[in-house]
């Protein structure tokens, strides 16, 4: 029956370029009696001018929420359309086509639920009201990912109505699919040419031979929502018996064979994530306990396939091909997002785009790729079951006073305008192709496509040059570039002397780096009072020479400054625009460095930071304090100097993200929190379970320092609070050291 609805690729479609769509994470889901609203969390609920930012990307369409729970939580007669009126009209003015969503992982207002027999009719009433109000809108996703939502709400119990059985899952799914069909029916009474863009997460399941039966079942079940809407679920369909066994009657299933309830998508929207593909393994001893589960017949671990399949994953290209072969309907990738470091986010979007473009050239009708989570998302690491504040940035980063463009924004603009993205970090495959992705014993997954297992970046990549091979910060940059797959060269002073212009220019000409990180410097604050000329030469003259060379070679520059540029007269955290007034020679050298670098090369990124501690060297304050206290030795620390300690791995990760984003000027990066040195020792000792009986707290003036220090040098920021809290940093420090 579905063949009547199959479309064939119109060659005229290929004359139109692959479109770039975008989307705002807009989930409004219910957990118990509480609703979690992403639009409130990300602030888009109150920021109309976000739409102008989105328009600057050059996107053609946007998946946009006109959500039932937000517009009419207390019935249609009490609906408030003002928010949608204003925003949809603005999108119309900007020339961005909205693909309107009515329910996004939700279950409707409080008077209904996914298993309410009247849910379909109730949603249809709302859909008709939307169409009547906005008759110019032509694209709809009445319910996002109905199968995924049914699983989370009916099988796993994460979301309302918190079912944990097959019947609740089946009734939720059938109710959603019928609601989609009814909604489109009434919408098309108003807008005859209205298009259904139906989304679903089509994760593939791999398994050991023993569990092949379970993988086969789940791989067939993943198509259920599309098969229902296309009228494919008849008595010969593999899922007919399963749904019947769940407790669904034949009459309920036959509803989806009636013409009025068949509603094939005009565009199939694929939402695919690296965690969507799973691997099932009965060898429980190879996996942590939290991965263990079963189906009543066998017990098995359920893990991310990318972490165990030796051959790598099938990838987006294979998924697009499979979808096309099954339905022969137009396709769009309707969500591309990755919770990871910036270069990995770029690599994933680039890989999906290239896959869509390549398969389109082979005759598959792929219409668009969607940059999802324009504003990032909150608490998806817990499947939005609690409000913990876990934030994943997206095309924009919300940790700044206003949404800040990331490197993904430039990539989206490039793709939308037909330009090939060319950021140097794209030369290295994403972590999902590299050897370190394998967290468990590698298992053969024959149905996946072979993928390269790379432990090092390609030699052809333009490297990141890191100056400071012997220092804590330089070594940390090298270590984390290795983890992140960023090609780098760690340079000693012998290899490149930044105080020697000829040396700097020679290395830049030969190495051709895309950026330079200056992690070198004179760091002995008290010695600087005795040898100011040396301190100024290393900390100020060298960075200025490096900045001039980077400007000449058009190479990005990242260099570091210090909280000691301030005098401590304030009692609130210092921000980037506060006046500097150093108390010592070291602070003066950093002030001069900032001035010279930014005058010479305004595109430079200068990061002020403070009070390093980290797991990979033995001479930072926290490590020494814990070592001495654990041994019962006396440890003396200042009780009156308030600082904002900085966990080196957090600093390096945030700095790399800013560098990749192309940020410039002054930035403050330190972990959130203000603490006296002595209290920092107490906090670390308490978390480590170490006695503080031998800790001695003294005023700074009694510690014998030569260089004066500010009593307060806490760093805040008016550009963006990118660093985690100090408490979290110390916990992760102890985990890394253990």
**595 located within any domain:** yes
- What is the domain extent for residue 523? 464-737
DSSP assigned state of 614:
-
For residue 681, give the 3-state DSSP assignment. Answer: helix
Residue 232 within a domain: no
CA angle 65, 67, 71 (to 5 degrees): 120
Number of domains in the chain: 1
**What CA–CA distance (Å, rounded) separates 129 from 504?**
67
Residue 724 burial by CB count (10 A; 0-12/13-18/19+): exposed, middle or buried?
middle
* pLDDT in the model for residue 447: 61
44 lies in a domain?
no
The pLDDT value recorded for residue 454 is 42
Specify the 3-state DSSP secondary structure of 144: strand
Find the helix or strand (DSSP H, E) in which 315 lies. Answer: helix 315-327
pLDDT value at position 15? 60
In a domain, 7, yes or no: no
Measured CA to CA, the distance from residue 8 to residue 1 in angstroms comes to 16
In a domain? residue 714: yes
Encode burial over 9-26: b for 16+ CB neighbours within 10 A, e otherwise.
beeeeeeeebbbbbbbbb
Residue 239 lies inside a defined structural domain of this protein: no
Nearest alpha carbon to residue 203 among 260, 90, 279:
279
Q: Given this model, what pLDDT does residue 445 score?
A: 87
Dist CA 588 CA 594 (whole Å)? 10
* pLDDT < 70 stretches in the chain: 1-15, 447-460
Q: What CA dihedral angle connects 308, 311, 313 and 317, to 10 degrees?
A: 180
Residues marked as catalytic = 586
Say which CATH number the domain at 576 has.
Answer: 3.40.50.720
Q: Is 544 part of any domain?
A: yes
DSSP per-residue string spanning 512-576: --SEEEE------TTHHHH-HHHHHIIIIIHHHHHHHHHHHHT-EEEEEEEGGGS-S--SS-B-T
Q: Quickly tell me which residue has 């330089």 as its tokens.
A: 474
- Model confidence, pTM: 0.93
Report yes or no on 204 lying in a domain.
no
For 366, half-sphere exposure in the C-beta direction (CA atoms, 13 angstrom radius) is 31
Per-residue pLDDT at 9: 46
Structure tokens at 406: 């990331």
- Give the model's pLDDT for residue 315: 87
- H or E element at residue 392: strand 391-392
């Amino acid at each position: 029956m579905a063949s009547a609805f199959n479309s064939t690729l119109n060659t005229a479609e290929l004359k139109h370029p692959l479109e770039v769509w975008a989307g705002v994470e807009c989930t409004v889901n219910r957990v118990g009696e509480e609703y979690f609203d992403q639009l409130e969390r990300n602030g888009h609920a109150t920021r109309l001018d976000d739409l102008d930012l989105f328009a600057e990307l050059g996107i053609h369409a946007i998946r946009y929420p006109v959500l039932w729970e937000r517009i009419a939580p207390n019935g249609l007669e009490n609906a408030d359309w003002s928010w949608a009126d204003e925003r949809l009209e603005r999108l119309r003015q900007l020339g961005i086509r909205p693909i309107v969503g009515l329910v996004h992982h939700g279950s409707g207002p409080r008077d209904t639920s996914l298993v309410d027999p009247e849910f379909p009719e109730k949603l249809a009433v709302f859909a008709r009201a939307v169409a009547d109000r906005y008759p110019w809108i032509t694209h709809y996703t009445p319910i996002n990912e109905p199968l995924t939502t049914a699983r989370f709400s009916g099988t796993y119990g994460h979301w309302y109505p918190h079912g944990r059985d097959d019947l609740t899952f089946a009734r939720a799914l059938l109710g959603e699919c019928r609601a989609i069909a009814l909604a489109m029916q009434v919408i098309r009474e108003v807008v005859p040419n209205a298009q259904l863009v139906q989304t679903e997460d089509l994760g593939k399941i791999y398994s050991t031979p023993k569990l092949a039966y379970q993988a086969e079942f789940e791989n067939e079940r993943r198509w259920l929502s599309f098969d229902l809407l296309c009228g494919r679920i008849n008595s010969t369909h593999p899922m007919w018996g399963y749904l019947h066994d769940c407790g669904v009657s034949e009459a309920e299933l036959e509803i989806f064979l009636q013409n009025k309830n068949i509603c094939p998508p005009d565009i199939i929207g694929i939402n695919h994530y690296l965690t969507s593909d799973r691997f099932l393994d009965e060898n429980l001893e190879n996996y942590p306990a939290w991965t263990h589960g079963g189906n009543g017949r066998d017990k098995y671990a359920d893990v991310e396939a990318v972490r165990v399949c030796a051959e790598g994953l099938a990838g987006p290209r294979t998924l697009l091909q499979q979808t096309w072969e099954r339905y022969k309907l137009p396709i769009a990738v309707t969500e591309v997002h990755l919770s990871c470091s910036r270069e990995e986010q770029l690599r994933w979007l680039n890989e999906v785009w290239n896959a869509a473009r390549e398969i389109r050239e082979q005759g598959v009708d792929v219409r668009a790729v969607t940059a999802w989570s324009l504003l990032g998302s909150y608490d998806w690491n817990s499947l939005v079951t609690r409000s913990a504040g876990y934030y994943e940035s997206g095309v924009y980063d919300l940790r700044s006073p206003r949404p800040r463009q990331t490197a993904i924004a430039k990539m989206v603009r490039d793709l939308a305008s037909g330009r090939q993205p060319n950021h140097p970090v794209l030369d290295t495959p994403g972590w999902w192709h590299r050897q370190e992705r394998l967290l468990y014993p590698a298992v053969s997954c024959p149905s996946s496509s072979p993928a390269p297992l790379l432990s090092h970046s390609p030699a052809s990549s333009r490297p990141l040059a890191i100056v400071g091979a012997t220092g804590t910060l330089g070594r940390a940059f090298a270590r984390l570039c290795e983890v992140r797959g960023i090609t780098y060269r760690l340079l000693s002073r012998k290899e490149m002397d930044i105080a020697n212009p000829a040396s700097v220019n020679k290395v830049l000409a030969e190495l051709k780096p895309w950026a330079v990180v200056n992690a070198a410097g004179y760091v002995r604050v008290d010695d600087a009072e005795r040898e100011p000329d040396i301190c100024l030469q290393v900390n100020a003259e060298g960075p200025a020479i490096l900045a001039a060379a980077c400007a000449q070679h058009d190479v990005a520059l990242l260099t570091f400054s210090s909280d000691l540029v301030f005098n401590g007269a304030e009692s609130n955290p210092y921000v980037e625009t506060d006046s500097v007034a150093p108390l010592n020679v070291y602070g003066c050298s950093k002030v001069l460095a900032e001035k010279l670098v930014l005058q010479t090369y305004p595109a430079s990124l200068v990061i002020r930071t403070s009070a390093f501690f980290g797991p990979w060297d033995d001479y930072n304050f926290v490590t020494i304090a814990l070592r001495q206290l654990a041994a019962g030795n006396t440890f003396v620390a200042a009780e009156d100097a308030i600082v904002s300690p900085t966990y080196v791995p957090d600093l390096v990760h945030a700095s790399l993200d800013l560098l990749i984003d192309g940020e410039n000027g002054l930035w403050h990066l330190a972990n959130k929190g203000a603490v006296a040195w002595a209290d920092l020792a107490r906090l670390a000792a308490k978390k480590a379970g170490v006695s503080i009986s031998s800790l001695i707290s003294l005023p700074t003036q009694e510690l014998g320092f030569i260089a004066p220090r500010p009593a307060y040098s806490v760093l805040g920021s008016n550009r963006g609070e990118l660093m985690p809290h100090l408490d979290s940093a110390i916990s992760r420090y102890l985990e890394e050291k253990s």
